[in-house]
């Protein structure tokens, strides 16, 4: 046996693994790496050499009943490590600055700026020669800083969200109490309780349990689950409990686990681009190519005109540094046109809008695990929802019970005495089936009773305590031989225990239709077992249906005495005696009915898919407003038996699917997506829901009732398990889509105008009215500031009054093209008139007339963009001021843009090639920009004047009057 003394011959390099004196005093006598090698290597021989599980328990100084003591957790963490994995360190702000500087166009501009400074100083001297170059450098610094700040803040947001995502808790025994702790607080020696759907939180050994089936596919890639039992006790971190239950001893944590070692070989998973981001990438590439073409043409036209002028002036052989500066400025203008044309702001807007929505949804109790889900949810046309915990409160209580041949109402403490007298003959066996056939526990903390377990078992245990039962006393009465935990195929839970009077006794509870078929007797008023006649079966079935019609979930409780000693540990499937039929109420959550109505108004079909009884499901669906008169409620078995053609025919009408299996839910979701082109959102909380969650466009897992398997398969985790939160996710998803559309409309307008005005002016007059520095400032307005203003607008109620966006719908709509083209024409007319006739119209003369006109053109262009930003707040509506003054971000961006424009024009003329303007010219620029709002009203006018005039005879009197 390997003990502490066997390590005297260790090499000096292994000193770090030796146990300290404090560890020895604490009673530890096995090394962390030795424990890790036994578990990871499945070394059963080494485990036996250490005395098996009980030997390991002694060596890590843990009592099975008491668990780890809180007082010695620090030393365990010091000796055996923390249950945390080494993560990629977060990027610093300067790293994001460096990444922003890698942009090719910015590098070209920096080269241009340096050359411009060198040539300028050589020709014009210090410091005047530096003006153009320094102006470009300042603009580059602004672009880089704003981009880096945006990226850095986004990275911090995702870090916060990732921290929330990792809040996973497990049940452990510590200081003789069963309690919940974070998996990151686990230590070697912890006694962990595992049930279906749990993630194994660390490496360790199986101590005891029933039918424990582990899915190791996350580590091994093998889809076949592994049975874990005494002879094969190894449990590995990151695997999932597929069936059964068990108790494990934690032996290895953190980076020493097999999962931890795997993590060191992998880089941190990066977020995939969303479908919308892929679309926007395509748009950006096309616009970038157009910008490159315009830039080459602009430079070519300016350069050719310059050469032609030199030829005409017989100066073709006379070159000076001034000529080089002119050509360099032409090149800088061309490069800047590319910078302006390439709409990198599209992806910035998408990322910013999604991150903003994710942060807001976090506050609204929804954790978005995948960026694409937030966007896709905005296009959802169908939601397949669970009932329990999603539409209902997930706090079940026993509302009615049929026992001793008659139904009784249960109304809390006020009905305690009545119940006790009515069921006195069967109370003992009833408490036994409730307390002995359960995987939950009743624990006392600070004088308060709390129940750890599922909502259904919580309701039963609360009912047992209401009847005056003593959980610990009833549990101590018997020795449990075998447990068959509840799963979604059996739909029942069974347990085999010692009978107090010899032999064995089996208890069973589960779905009424299943357990009732297993019974041939029932308990009468005197507590005697009597034969269950066909008439009595019919009466009990009627009771079950009446309970279900009142939206009660029904369970049958039964037992069977086994006298045959030849039957070892087999739990029978028939011959039971029915004790009671329990009706459990799970009230509908407040606000769910309104949320369902909101979905229907938004063109989103809501379908309930549940494992509950058909009558119960129909009652809840009607109460929520899901099941309508022309809707169809169907059982999963009936749906399963249909042919593909039949399924295709009935699916559009299905509003409720009851008693469904995981395969039925998966089939429904797949058919809706593949055959009907629906964008499907699916809610789920169990391990069995994982296939459907994975198949759906958006998987929504329940954060409270959901298993770790369900959460891992989902795109969004609903932290409060509330259907209202799901509707909120859809609202924010639509907001993301619309906000990015607003930004695209705004940016494309600026792109079109900037490209065309500079190109036309270069071709006609030989100079571009907008300089490189000015275009860089416009680029700042378009990209980070425009994205910040338009992409972070909160959703409005109108978003849920329109149909969802189709899967194949065009991103740039006809209304957007109308607004882009209309605004571009107006701005080009204004800037073109100013460029070619501005001096005459404004009465400008003198040596600075050209500089003043260019400043007016630049100023008018910027103010057109400021007001166009306001116009873009709503693509369809004429009144674009609704909610504007409630958006601090939007108002802040507009105010900052105007303030910076004043500073640039009035005080930074040396860098931006501007001159101070009179108040009359400032007013003119503001008026020219504000007229774009009138243009927007005309463009959005629902009265189609031209169409009406063209079809005058077809127009109604109301149309004529309106127009």
Return the higher-pLDDT residue of 172 and 282: 172
Q: Taking 60 as the threshold, does the pLDDT of residue 223 lie above it?
A: no
Torsion angle in degrees (nearest 10) through CA of 737, 743, 748, 753: 160
Average pLDDT over residues 641-649: 90
Contact criterion met (CB below 8 Å) for 135 and 773: yes
Average pLDDT over residues 563-573: 74
Name the token pair of 789: 């203003």
How many angstroms separate the CA atoms of 255 and 234, rounded?
Answer: 17
pLDDT, residue 616, reads 81
Counting residues of the chain whose pLDDT is more than 90, the rounded percentage is 24
Average pLDDT over residues 728-736: 88
pLDDT, residue 855, reads 94
Predicted confidence band of residue 912 (pLDDT cuts 50, 70, 90):
confident
Phi/psi for 780 (5° steps) reads: -65, -40
704 Cβ partners below 8 Å, 6+ apart?
A: 389, 394, 719, 720, 721
Closest of 532, 525, 522, 585 to residue 556, by C-alpha: 522
Name the token pair of 648: 């295709």
DSSP 18-32: SPPHHHHHTT--S-H
Q: What angle do CA 635, 641, 646 make, to 5 degrees?
A: 95
Q: Which tens digit of pLDDT belongs to each residue from 294-338?
A: 888 888 888 888 888 888 888 787 777 778 778 877 777 777 677
Predicted confidence band of residue 961 (pLDDT cuts 50, 70, 90):
very low
Average pLDDT over residues 387-403: 84
Return the higher-pLDDT residue of 75 and 85: 75
Q: Taking 90 as the threshold, does the pLDDT of residue 809 lie above it?
A: no
Torsion angle in degrees (nearest 10) through CA of 153, 157, 163, 166: -140
pLDDT, residue 458, reads 86
Contact criterion met (CB below 8 Å) for 769 and 913: no
pLDDT, residue 10, reads 38
629 Cβ partners below 8 Å, 6+ apart?
A: none
How many angstroms separate the CA atoms of 17 and 6, rounded?
Answer: 13
Name the token pair of 271: 């977020």
Give the DSSP H or E segment for 524: none
pLDDT, residue 270, reads 45
Locus of tokens 């509003």? 655
CA-CA-CA-CA torsion sign (889, 890, 893, 895): negative
Q: Taking 60 as the threshold, does the pLDDT of residue 951 lie above it?
A: no
What's the CATH number for 21-82+186-260?
A: 2.70.150.10
Average pLDDT over residues 166-195: 86
- Using alpha carbons, list the distances in angstroms from residue 612 to 108, 136, 836: 66, 68, 76
Q: Which tens digit of pLDDT belongs to each residue from 458-476?
A: 889 999 998 888 888 888 8
How many angstroms separate the CA atoms of 524 and 429, rounded?
Answer: 12
Least confident of 108-122, 156-170, 503-517: 156-170
Residue 131 among the catalytic residues: no
Predicted confidence band of residue 16 (pLDDT cuts 50, 70, 90):
very low
How many angstroms separate the CA atoms of 764 and 217, rounded?
Answer: 69
Predicted confidence band of residue 105 (pLDDT cuts 50, 70, 90):
low
- Backbone torsion region of residue 574, taken as left when φ is above 0, otherwise alpha when ψ lies between -120 and 50, otherwise beta: beta
Q: Taking 90 as the threshold, does the pLDDT of residue 405 lie above it?
A: no
Provide the 10 A C-beta neighbour count for residue 129.
Answer: 19
Closest of 657, 676, 566 to residue 618, by C-alpha: 657
Q: Which tens digit of pLDDT belongs to each residue from 860-898?
A: 999 999 999 999 988 888 778 888 888 888 999 899 999
pLDDT, residue 866, reads 92
How many angstroms separate the CA atoms of 822 and 593, rounded?
Answer: 43
- Bridge-based pairing of strands 397-403 and 406-409 is antiparallel
Q: Taking 50 as the threshold, does the pLDDT of residue 2 lie above it?
A: no
Q: Taking 90 as the threshold, does the pLDDT of residue 811 lie above it?
A: no
pLDDT, residue 204, reads 93
In the CATH scheme, what is the homologous superfamily, with its name and number, of domain 409-581?
Answer: Calcium-transporting ATPase, cytoplasmic domain N (3.40.1110.10)
HEC readout, 601-651: HCCCEEEEECCCCHHHHHHHHHHHCCCCCCCEEEEHHHHHCCCHHHHHHHH
Q: Taking 70 as the threshold, does the pLDDT of residue 276 lie above it?
A: no
pLDDT, residue 960, reads 47
pLDDT, residue 784, reads 73
Distance between first and last Cα of the chain: 97
Quick one: how far is CA 192 from the chain centroid?
29
Q: Taking 50 as the threshold, does the pLDDT of residue 103 lie above it?
A: yes
CA-CA-CA-CA torsion sign (402, 405, 409, 414): negative
Of 215, 386, 715, 721, catalytic: 386
Average pLDDT over residues 153-174: 71
pLDDT, residue 139, reads 66
pLDDT, residue 861, reads 93
How many angstroms separate the CA atoms of 730 and 1, rounded?
Answer: 61
- This prediction has a pTM of 0.66
Predicted confidence band of residue 141 (pLDDT cuts 50, 70, 90):
confident
HEC readout, 168-181: CEEEEEECCEEEEE
Q: Taking 70 as the threshold, does the pLDDT of residue 134 lie above it?
A: yes
Contact criterion met (CB below 8 Å) for 837 and 946: no
Least confident of 82-96, 144-158, 696-710: 144-158
Return the higher-pLDDT residue of 501 and 571: 571
Average pLDDT over residues 16-26: 65
pLDDT, residue 633, reads 94
pLDDT, residue 527, reads 81
Closest of 198, 229, 224 to residue 211, by C-alpha: 229
Q: Taking 70 as the threshold, does the pLDDT of residue 944 lie above it?
A: no
Contact criterion met (CB below 8 Å) for 523 and 403: yes
Closest of 730, 506, 504 to residue 602, by C-alpha: 730
pLDDT, residue 344, reads 59
How many angstroms separate the CA atoms of 792 and 357, rounded?
Answer: 8
DSSP 899-911: HHHHHHHHH-HHH
- Using alpha carbons, list the distances in angstroms from residue 590 to 391, 609, 723, 730, 956: 9, 20, 10, 19, 46
Q: Taking 60 as the threshold, does the pLDDT of residue 943 lie above it?
A: no
Average pLDDT over residues 610-624: 86
Average pLDDT over residues 340-367: 73
Name the token pair of 691: 């296939």
pLDDT, residue 705, reads 67
DSSP 745-799: HHHHHHHHHHHHHHHHHHHHHSS-SS-HHHHHHHHHIIIIIHHHHHTTPPP-GGG
pLDDT, residue 342, reads 65
What's the CATH number for 366-392+589-721?
A: 3.40.50.1000
How many angstroms separate the CA atoms of 467 and 489, rounded?
Answer: 31
pLDDT, residue 231, reads 87
Average pLDDT over residues 752-772: 78
Long-range contacts, stretch 562-567, CB < 8 angstroms, 24+ apart:
562/496, 562/499, 562/503, 562/504, 562/505, 562/506, 563/502, 563/503, 564/503, 565/503, 567/504
Average pLDDT over residues 595-606: 92
Phi/psi for 756 (5° steps) reads: -70, -45
Locus of tokens 């040596």? 847
Q: What angle do CA 655, 658, 662 make, to 5 degrees?
A: 105
Name the token pair of 242: 């597929």
Let me know how many helices (H) and strands (E) the chain has, helices first.
Answer: 37, 26
Q: Taking 60 as the threshold, does the pLDDT of residue 239 lie above it?
A: yes
How many angstroms separate the CA atoms of 189 and 186, rounded?
Answer: 9
Predicted confidence band of residue 5 (pLDDT cuts 50, 70, 90):
very low
**Exposure on the CB side of residue 373, measured as CA atoms within 13 A:** 25
Phi/psi for 268 (5° steps) reads: -65, 135
How many angstroms separate the CA atoms of 214 and 689, rounded?
Answer: 17
pLDDT, residue 242, reads 74
Q: Where are the domains of the chain?
A: 21-82+186-260, 278-354+742-945, 366-392+589-721, 409-581
Contact criterion met (CB below 8 Å) for 408 and 420: no
How many angstroms separate the CA atoms of 391 and 385, rounded?
Answer: 8
pLDDT, residue 9, reads 36
Contact criterion met (CB below 8 Å) for 691 and 556: no
How many angstroms separate the CA atoms of 160 and 154, rounded?
Answer: 10
How many angstroms separate the CA atoms of 772 and 782, rounded?
Answer: 15
How many angstroms separate the CA atoms of 863 and 246, rounded?
Answer: 69
Q: Which tens digit of pLDDT belongs to each residue from 473-484?
A: 888 888 888 888
> 278-354+742-945 is classed in which CATH architecture?
Up-down Bundle (1.20)
Counting residues of the chain whose pLDDT is more than 70, the rounded percentage is 84
Q: Which tens digit of pLDDT belongs to each residue from 54-66?
A: 999 988 989 888 9
Contact criterion met (CB below 8 Å) for 56 and 50: yes
């Amino acid at each position: 046996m390997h003990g502490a003394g066997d390590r005297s011959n260790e090499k000096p390099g292994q000193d770090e693994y030796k146990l300290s004196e404090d560890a020895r005093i604490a009673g530890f006598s096995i090394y962390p790496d030795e424990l890790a090698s036994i578990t990871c290597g499945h070394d059963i021989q080494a485990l036996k050499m250490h005395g098996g599980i009980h030997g390991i328990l002694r060596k890590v100084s843990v009592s099975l009943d008491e668990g780890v003591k809180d007082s010695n957790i620090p030393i365990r963490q010091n000796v055996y490590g923390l249950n945390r994995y080494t993560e990629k360190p977060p990027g610093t702000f300067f790293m994001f600055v460096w990444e922003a500087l890698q942009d090719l166009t910015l590098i070209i501009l920096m080269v241009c700026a340096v050359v411009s400074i060198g040539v300028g100083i050589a020709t014009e001297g210090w410091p005047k020669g530096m003006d153009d170059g320094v102006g470009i450098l300042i603009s580059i610094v602004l672009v880089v800083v704003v981009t880096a700040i945006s990226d850095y803040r986004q990275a911090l947001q995702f870090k916060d969200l990732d921290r929330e995502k990792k809040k996973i808790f497990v049940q452990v025994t510590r200081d003789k109490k069963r309690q919940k702790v974070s998996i990151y607080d686990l230590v070697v020696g912890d006694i962990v309780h595992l049930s279906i759907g749990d993630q194994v939180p660390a490496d360790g050994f199986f101590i005891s349990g029933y039918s424990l089936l582990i899915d190791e596919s996350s580590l091994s890639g093998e889809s076949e689950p592994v049975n874990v039992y005494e002879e094969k006790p190894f449990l590995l971190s990151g695997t999932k409990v597929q069936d059964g239950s068990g108790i494990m001893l934690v032996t290895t944590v953190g980076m020493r686990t097999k999962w931890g070692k795997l993590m060191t070989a992998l880089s941190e998973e990066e977020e995939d681009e969303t479908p919308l981001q892929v679309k926007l990438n395509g748009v950006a590439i096309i616009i970038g190519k157009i910008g490159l073409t315009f830039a080459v043409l602009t430079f070519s036209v300016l350069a050719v005109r310059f050469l032609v002028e030199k030829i005409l002036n017989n100066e073709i052989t006379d070159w000076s540094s001034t000529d080089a500066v002119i050509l360099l400025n032409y090149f800088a203008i061309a490069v800047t046109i590319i910078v302006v044309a390439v709409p990198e702001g599209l992806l910035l807007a998408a990322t910013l809008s999604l991150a903003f929505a994710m942060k807001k949804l976090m506050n609204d109790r929804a954790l978005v695990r995948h960026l694409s889900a937030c966007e896709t949810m905005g296009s959802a046309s169908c939601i397949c929802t669970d009932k329990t915990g999603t539409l209902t409160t997930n706090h079940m209580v026993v509302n009615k019970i049929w026992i001793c041949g008659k139904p009784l109402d249960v109304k809390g403490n006020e009905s305690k005495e009545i119940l006790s007298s009515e069921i006195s003959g069967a109370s003992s066996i009833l408490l036994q089936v409730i307390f002995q056939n359960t995987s939950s526990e009743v624990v006392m903390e600070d004088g308060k009773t709390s129940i750890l377990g599922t909502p259904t078992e919580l309701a039963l245990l609360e009912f047992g305590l209401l009847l005056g039962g003593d959980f610990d006393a009833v549990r101590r009465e018997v020795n449990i031989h075998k447990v068959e935990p509840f799963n979604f195929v059996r739909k029942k839970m069974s347990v085999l225990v010692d009978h107090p009077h010899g032999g064995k006794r089996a208890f069973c509870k589960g779905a009424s239709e299943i357990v009732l078929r297993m019974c041939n007797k029932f308990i009468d008023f005197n507590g005697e077992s009597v034969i269950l006649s066909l008439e009595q079966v019919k009466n009990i079935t009627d009771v079950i249906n009446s309970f279900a019609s009142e939206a009660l979930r029904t369970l049958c409780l039964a037992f069977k005495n086994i006298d045959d000693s030849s039957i070892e540990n087999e739990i029978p499937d028939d011959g039971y005696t029915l004790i009671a039929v329990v009706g459990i109420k799970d009230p509908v959550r407040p606000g769910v009915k309104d949320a369902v109505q909101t979905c229907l108004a938004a063109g989103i079909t809501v379908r309930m898919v549940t494992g509950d009884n058909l009558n119960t499901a129909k009652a809840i669906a009607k109460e929520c407003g899901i099941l309508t008169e022309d809707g169809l409620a169907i059982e999963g078995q009936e749906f399963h038996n249909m042919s593909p053609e039949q399924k295709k025919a009935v699916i559009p009408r299905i509003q409720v699917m009851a008693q469904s299996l995981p395969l039925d839910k998966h089939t429904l979701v797949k058919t809706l997506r593949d055959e009907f082109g629906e964008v499907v959102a699916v809610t789920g909380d169990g391990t069995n829901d994982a296939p459907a969650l994975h198949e759906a466009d958006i998987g929504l897992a329940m954060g409270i009732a959901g298993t770790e398997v369900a959460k891992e398969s989902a795109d969004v985790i609903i932290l409060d398990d509330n259907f209202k939160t799901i509707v909120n996710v859809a609202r924010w998803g639509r907001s993301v889509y619309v906000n990015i559309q607003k930004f695209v409309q705004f940016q494309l307008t600026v792109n079109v105008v900037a490209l065309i005005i500079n190109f036309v002016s270069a071709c006609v007059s030989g100079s571009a009215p907008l300089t490189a520095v000015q275009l860089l400032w416009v680029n700042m307005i378009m990209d980070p500031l425009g994205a910040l203003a338009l992409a972070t607008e909160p959703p409005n109620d109108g978003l849920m009054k329109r149909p969802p966006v189709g899967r194949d719908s065009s991103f740039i709509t006809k209304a957007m093209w109308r607004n882009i083209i209309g605004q571009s024409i107006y701005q080009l007319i204004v800037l073109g008139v100013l460029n070619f006739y501005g001096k005459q119209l404004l009465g400008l003369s003198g040596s600075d007339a050209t500089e003043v006109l260019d400043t007016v053109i630049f100023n008018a262009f910027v103010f057109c963009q400021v007001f166009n930003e306001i116009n873009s707040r709503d693509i369809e509506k004429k009144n674009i001021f609704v909610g504007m003054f409630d958006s601090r971000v939007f108002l802040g961006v507009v105010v900052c843009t105007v303030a910076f424009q004043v500073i640039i024009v009035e005080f930074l003329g040396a860098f931006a090639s501007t001159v101070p303007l009179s108040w009359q010219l400032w007013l003119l620029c503001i008026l020219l920009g504000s007229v774009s709002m009138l243009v927007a009203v005309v463009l959005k006018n629902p009265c189609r004047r031209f169409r009406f005039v063209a079809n005058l005879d077809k127009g109604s009197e109301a149309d004529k009057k309106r127009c």
